[in-house]
Structure 1
Amino acid sequence: MCLFSSTELNKNPVEGFSAGLIDDNDIYRWEVLIIGPPDTLYEGGFFKAHLIFPREYPLRPPKMKFITDIWHPNIEKNGDVCISILHEPGDDKWGYEKASERWLPVHTVETILISVISMLADPNDESPANVDAAKEWREDYTNFKKKVARCVRRSQED
């Protein structure tokens, strides 16, 4: 599969998301729609995000940013996604991640989005991008669920 092939994704769709170019003339900018995974707090939500690929792709990872408001320990308040496979390749200078968990040129739009869907279902509150969401996840789960439910409702209105 060509790493920049939205045609391939359309021919063989993967459950849980759809993806395509924002502009047919720019293969580096993608819009994705992630459907909240079943049996999670995000179930029923429709979350738009952008994947922006660097010119050095596939040697360097894309950046992913949710456009739809979403409350999650691994998504910054501005929508930026913090997940290991989108971190620059090589060793983690803090020793938290193994090089094999970080960006590898074999990753595709499909593997990135499957990882993000998995992250929605199972947040990593040990290394949060959104400290407030992680703290709430651990200490006030009832309020965390209310905020996520509000995000899901709003995502259905867009």
Structure 2
Amino acid sequence: MTDSSALLLAKQLKELQKNPVDGFSAGLLNDNIYEWEILVMGAPDTLYEGGFFKAIMTFPRDYPIMPPTLKFVTEMFHPNVYPDGTVCISILHPPGDDKYGYEDASERWSPVHTVETILLSVISMLSSPNDESPANIEAAKEFRQDYPQFKKKVQRMVQRTVDML
């Protein structure tokens, strides 16, 4: 590994292993420094509490200039997660101005972000959905219009993650 992105990722992984952060764990997928397997634990006092959600974080070769993608492989029903599991949060959007004018450039990807800051943002997203700019229209609509049904659906999903252990 001689390219700078691989060296940076190896350093970030080593730091996370040395100083784990509550709420998630991370490791390499198939010994590939550009693909990480992530386990996000549902935070206390959220609808996702007690759940175990697996995701894959894929880094581009030009990381940290460009952001990684994060995709849940465990079922995830959330306004800011596409039905295919891809996470849609501002800090994972390419740097610069938003062509739709929804996000300020300061809210989007910046090379100062690390795996830790990304995953802390994902944990925050799970506890505070942004239904103004949904990736999953069905989840956002249910969250707004039938919160009890949304809550029930999420609780069943959380239980399935526990049952899979």
TM-score (norm 1): 0.96
Mapped partners of 1:47, 1:57: distance in 2: 24
1:28 aligns to what? 34
1:63 aligns to what? 69
1:11 and 2:26 aligned: no
2:97 aligns to what? 91
1:48 and 2:54 aligned: yes
1:3 deviates by 3.9
1:10 deviates by 1.1
Instruction: Indicate the SS of the match to 1:49.
Output: strand
Instruction: Indicate the SS of the match to 2:148.
Output: helix
Mapped partners of 2:155, 2:84: distance in 1: 18
Mapped partners of 2:8, 2:94: distance in 1: 21
CA RMSD of aligned residues (A): 1.2
Instruction: Indicate the SS of the match to 1:20.
Output: strand
1:79 aligns to what? 85
Gapped regions of structure 2 (runs ≥ 5) = 1-6
Mapped partners of 2:93, 2:13: distance in 1: 23
Mapped partners of 2:14, 2:62: distance in 1: 22
Total equivalences in the alignment? 157
Residues 57-102 of structure 1: CA distance to partner in whole angstroms, max 9, x if unpaired? 1111001100000110000111010000000100001111011110
1:103 and 2:130 aligned: no
Between Structure 1 and Structure 2, which shows a larger proportion of helix residues? 2
Mapped partners of 1:50, 1:29: distance in 2: 7
Instruction: Indicate the SS of the match to 2:33.
Output: coil
Query: Where does structure 1 differ by over 2 angstroms across 4 or more consecutive aligned residues?
Result: 1-5
1:113 aligns to what? 119
TM-score (norm 2): 0.92
Calculate percent identity across the aligned residue pairs. Answer: 66
Gapped regions of structure 1 (runs ≥ 5) = none
